[in-house]
């Protein structure tokens, strides 16, 4: 199972390489995109998956013209109401969003690394914790926004800081003497992803350096670079100086009218805990069913990891006979396993999924399997029954999802969920569907990534099902691009509807990816598009400087490039304690939602070997 995001990673539905030139290529049908001729393509977004066997092409968005981001009209800034001569931005003891609607997030360029979160300091109080490895020629740091960057530019409200005289915050280092530069940006600078230097943090501290004790920094706004428009402040940036590793903590960021203003913590910063479940996907079911030793290993693993729910792929064969589908499966093989799991308190959900199943022409197959499972449940004892039905159909992996047919694909996808829920409910089965976190998101042009009749696809699905699994594939809990942020909207909506949400995390090895946009004008890499016949074309990625035969073909030119390291998506190269920390931190924030039902790990086939490998490495080190 793969999660897809406009800022993330997907998987290819197939790749065909040009053997003559060995350029990563893909053959597609023009009709998938509603086009009749390749010359109609004016905008194309692709992903280049950097796999060990070579780069592979995936297609995300195909249009006749590049979408236009609506420009900003006028200037929107304000000074929020405040009391006692100060505006507290955040204590940094809870959550991702501060009082101005702004997020925080780390940034880095290879080989540097960054990680930012809310964590406990050595004296056990909550604060913004920033860990870094700064290595040339890269850089690292983190930013704190004074506006909500996730709304369209025309609706953004920046901070008018002119009523204040100081910017203040408290800071401490884990070891002391960390070298941090303070930078700031207004609306114009932030738009260019730039900022201007304010000072070294050490120069505005009482001790003249960052120490292991808390110190309060006071930055007179009168000394801020005059090029920064303080009526439209956008962010403050903390950037590491020099080749070094370390960790710092920041709290109590505020704007004040006088120096030495004090403000008490008004919020409850106690960690929340809740009773949550832990689910897991199982895909290669036959390996478990037909090998007693594997079955024992599997069962022991589930108990050790305290698995409460299993999403088990049904091993079956399907054949179409006329207009109906015939389903064949050996239910006798499943009965002992389900019984043993049920007796251990593990709920078993019958799992199936394929992108094609979202399309109406395949619905009969899914319904036939569902009917077969209902028939099975009615013929066995209670401890041998499936607890639920689960679909992992990912329609965004269909080629036609990238063109004008997206809404019709989503409509048919929803139809299957509605049909299946009606049958499952009648049979007393819990019905769940796995969806990507971006089903409620927007692309870089602030268009809905997946919506139907004006509503996010996540809401449309939650309306129908009993629970959803959010493929929330990130390896950090906090920040603007972390697990908490990507799951919050779905949890809020599910809570209103009385539904449940599993938060999915990934352990499968994934490749790094680079996202590219192409259009008629640009520079750098290119896309060669060549008609194979009246219906099909080949799209080839042409690296900058490579020669290519243009006979019977035309080119699109690169307009955007975004690198997506696999380390932000999967825990494959991380340690078990990293996964545990992310689950612990995420749970602390997400427990506030009654819809939070726990985590689901993808998947047994990768999760167990990963844990075993990490355990072996630790033993070897000892």
pLDDT of 476-488, one tens digit each?
Answer: 999 999 999 999 9
Provide the pLDDT for residue 5: 33
3-state secondary structure 509-532: CCCEEEEEEEECCCCCCEEEEEEC
| Domain(s) of CATH 3.20.20.80: residues in the chain | 277-510+569-621
pLDDT of 262-303, one tens digit each?
Answer: 776 544 455 566 878 999 999 999 999 999 999 999 999 999
Q: Which residues on neighbouring strands pair with residue 47, listed in sequence order?
A: 58, 515
pLDDT of 496-545, one tens digit each?
Answer: 999 999 999 999 999 999 999 999 999 999 999 999 998 999 999 999 98
| Distance separating alpha carbons of residues 239 and 541, to the nearest angstrom | 36
Residue 608: is its pLDDT beyond 80? Answer: yes
Asked whether 432 and 461 are in contact (CB, 8 A), the reply is no
Provide the pLDDT for residue 618: 57
- Could you tell me how far CA 68 lies from the centroid of its own chain? 25
pLDDT of 203-248, one tens digit each?
Answer: 999 999 999 999 999 999 999 999 999 999 999 999 999 999 999 9
Q: Is residue 487 classed as helix, strand or coil in its secondary structure?
A: helix
Superfamily of domain 277-510+569-621: Glycosidases (3.20.20.80)
Which residue, chain included where needed, has tokens 């949890």?
491
| Domain(s) of CATH 2.60.120.430: residues in the chain | 85-256
Structural domain 85-256, CATH architecture: Sandwich (2.60)
Provide the pLDDT for residue 14: 34
Q: List CB contacts of 193: < 8 A, sequence separation 6 or more.
A: none
Provide the pLDDT for residue 9: 29
Provide the pLDDT for residue 276: 82
pLDDT of 174-204, one tens digit each?
Answer: 999 999 999 999 999 999 999 999 999 999 9
Provide the pLDDT for residue 265: 59
Over the chain, what is the mean pLDDT? Answer: 91
Asked whether 510 and 9 are in contact (CB, 8 A), the reply is yes
Provide the pLDDT for residue 260: 80
Asked whether 128 and 182 are in contact (CB, 8 A), the reply is no
pLDDT of 142-164, one tens digit each?
Answer: 999 999 999 998 889 999 999 99
Element (H or E) spanning 10, and its range?
none
Provide the pLDDT for residue 322: 87
Residue 449: is its pLDDT beyond 70? Answer: yes
Residue 18: is its pLDDT beyond 80? Answer: no
pLDDT of 556-597, one tens digit each?
Answer: 999 999 999 999 999 999 999 999 999 999 999 999 999 999
Percent of the chain clearing pLDDT 70 (strictly above): 93
Provide the pLDDT for residue 606: 98
Q: List CB contacts of 387: < 8 A, sequence separation 6 or more.
A: 309, 342, 347, 348, 349, 429, 430
* 391, two tokens: 């679909």
Provide the pLDDT for residue 262: 75
Q: List CB contacts of 39: < 8 A, sequence separation 6 or more.
A: 554
* Closest listed residue to residue 588, CA positions, set 465, 483, 490: 483
**What is the sign of the dihedral through the CA atoms of 481, 485, 489 and 494?**
positive
The pTM assigned to this predicted structure is 0.92
Tell me the CA end-to-end span of the chain in Å, nearest whole number: 35
Residue 381: is its pLDDT beyond 70? Answer: yes
Provide the pLDDT for residue 74: 59
pLDDT of 83-92, one tens digit each?
Answer: 888 999 999 9
| Distance separating alpha carbons of residues 283 and 353, to the nearest angstrom | 10
Asked whether 556 and 520 are in contact (CB, 8 A), the reply is yes
Of residues 264 and 367, more confidently modeled: 367
Residue 12's pLDDT band (cuts 50, 70, 90) = very low
Q: Classify residue 581 as exposed, middle or buried by CB count within 10 Å of its CB (0-12, 13-18, 19+).
A: middle
Strand locations in 388-450 (E): 388-391, 430-436
Asked whether 285 and 604 are in contact (CB, 8 A), the reply is no
* Closest listed residue to residue 349, CA positions, set 320, 297, 308, 321: 308
Q: Is residue 287 classed as helix, strand or coil in its secondary structure?
A: helix
Q: How many Cβ atoms sit within 10 Å of the Cβ of residue 293?
A: 7
Q: List CB contacts of 69: < 8 A, sequence separation 6 or more.
A: 153, 444, 445, 446
* 376, two tokens: 């099975």
Percent of the chain clearing pLDDT 90 (strictly above): 83
β-pair type (596-602, 86-90): unpaired
Q: How many Cβ atoms sit within 10 Å of the Cβ of residue 188?
A: 13
Q: List CB contacts of 1: < 8 A, sequence separation 6 or more.
A: 281, 353, 392, 394, 434, 471, 602, 603
């Amino acid at each position: 199972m793969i999660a897809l995001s406009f800022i993330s990673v997907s998987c290819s539905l197939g790749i065909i390489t040009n053997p003559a030139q060995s350029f990563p290529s893909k053959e597609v049908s023009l009709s998938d995109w509603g086009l009749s001729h390749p010359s109609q393509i004016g905008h194309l977004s692709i992903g280049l998956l950097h796999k060990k066997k070579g780069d592979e092409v995936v297609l995300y968005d195909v249009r006749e013209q590049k979408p236009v981001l609506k420009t900003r009209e006028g200037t929107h800034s304000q000074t929020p109401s405040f009391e006692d001569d100060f505006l507290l931005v955040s204590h940094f003891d809870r959550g991702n969003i501060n009082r101005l609607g702004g997020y925080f997030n780390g940034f880095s360029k290879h080989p540097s690394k960054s990680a930012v979160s809310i964590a406990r300091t050595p004296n056990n109080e909550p604060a913004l914790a920033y860990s870094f490895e700064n290595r040339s020629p890269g850089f690292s740091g983190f930013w704190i926004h004074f506006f909500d960057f996730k709304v369209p530019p025309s609706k953004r409200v920046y901070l008018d800081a002119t009523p204040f005289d100081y910017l203040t915050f408290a800071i401490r280092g884990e070891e002391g003497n960390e070298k941090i530069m303070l930078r700031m940006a207004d609306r114009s600078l932030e738009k260019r992803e730039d900022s201007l230097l304010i000072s070294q943090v050490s120069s505005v501290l009482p001790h003249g350096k960052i120490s292991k004790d808390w110190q309060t920094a006071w930055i007179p706004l009168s000394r801020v670079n005059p090029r920064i428009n303080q009526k439209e402040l956008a962010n403050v940036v903390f950037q590491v100086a020099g080749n070094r590793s370390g960790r710092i903590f920041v709290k109590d960021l505020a704007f004040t009218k006088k120096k030495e203003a004090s403000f008490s913590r008004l919020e409850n910063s106690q960690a929340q805990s809740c009773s949550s479940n832990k689910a897991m996907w199982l895909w290669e079911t036959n390996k478990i069913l037909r090998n007693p030793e594997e079955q024992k290993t599997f069962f022991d693993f589930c108990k050790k990891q305290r698995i409460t729910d299993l999403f088990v792929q049904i091993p079956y064969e399907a054949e179409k006979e006329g207009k109906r589908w015939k389903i064949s499966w050996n239910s006798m093989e499943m009965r002992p396993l389900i019984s043993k799991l049920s007796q251990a308190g593990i709920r078993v959900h019958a799992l199936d999924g394929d992108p094609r199943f979202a399309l109406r022409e395949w619905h009969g197959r899914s319904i036939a399997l569902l009917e077969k499972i209902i028939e099975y449940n009615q013929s066995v004892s209670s401890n041998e029954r499936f607890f639920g039905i689960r679909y992992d159909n990912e329609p965004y992996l269909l080629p036609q999802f990238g063109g004008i047919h997206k809404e019709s694909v989503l409509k048919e996808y929803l139809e299957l969920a509605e049909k299946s829920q009606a049958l499952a409910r009648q049979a007393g089965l819990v019905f769940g569907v796995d969806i990507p976190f971006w089903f409620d998101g927007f692309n870089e042009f602030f268009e809905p990534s997946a919506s139907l009749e004006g509503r996010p696809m996540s809401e449309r699905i939650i309306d129908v099902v009993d629970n959803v699994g959010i493929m929330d594939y990130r390896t950090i809990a906090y920040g603007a691009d972390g697990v908490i942020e990507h799951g919050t909207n779905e949890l809020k909506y599910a809570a209103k509807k009385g539904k449940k949400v599993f938060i999915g995390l990934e352990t499968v090895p994934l490749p790094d990816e680079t996202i590219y946009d192409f259009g008629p004008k640009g520079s750098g890499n290119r896309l060669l598009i060549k008609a194979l016949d009246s219906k099909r074309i080949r799209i080839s990625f042409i690296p900058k400087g490579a020669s290519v035969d243009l006979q019977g073909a035309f080119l699109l030119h690169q307009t955007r490039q975004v690198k997506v390291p696999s380390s932000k998506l999967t825990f494959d190269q991380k340690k078990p304690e990293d996964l545990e920390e992310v689950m612990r931190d995420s749970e602390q924030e997400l427990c506030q939602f009654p819809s939070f039902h726990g985590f689901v790990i993808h998947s047994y086939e990768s999760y167990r070997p990963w844990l075993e490998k990490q355990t072996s490495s630790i033993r070897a080190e000892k």
